[in-house]
Amino acid sequence: MKFLADECCDTGLVASLRENGHDVLYVLEKTPGSSDDEVLLDAYNKGRILLTEDKDFGGLVYRLKKPSKGICI
C-alpha cells in the first residue's frame, strides 16, 4: 500500500511498514513543519493514505469536506 506518514508518526512505525514492503513517504523526512492542509493535500495528490496521530485531520475531511484517499488515525 501507499502511505504518507505525518511527522507526528513514530519513526519505528514508518520503518516497520517499509520493511514489510509498503511504500511510505514521511513528512518528517521531506517537508517537516507542513500545515495539516498541506499534508492532507499532498497525500491526496499522491494517491496515498494518510497516517497520523492528529485528530484534526478528521475535522478537515468530515466537517470541511476536504478530499482524501483515506486516513488512519
Tell me: the pLDDT tens digits for 22-46?
999 999 999 999 999 999 999 999 9
pLDDT at residue number 5: 98
pLDDT at residue number 73: 86
Give domain limits for the chain.
Answer: 2-72
What is the CA angle 15-19-20, rounded to 5? 120
pLDDT at residue number 61: 95
From CA 37, how far away is CA 13, in angstroms rounded?
A: 23
Q: What is the mean pLDDT of residues 8-19?
A: 97
| pTM metric for this prediction | 0.94
pLDDT at residue number 72: 95
CB distance 4 to 41 below 8 Å: no
From CA 5, how far away is CA 3, in angstroms rounded?
A: 6
Q: What is the mean pLDDT of residues 2-24?
A: 98
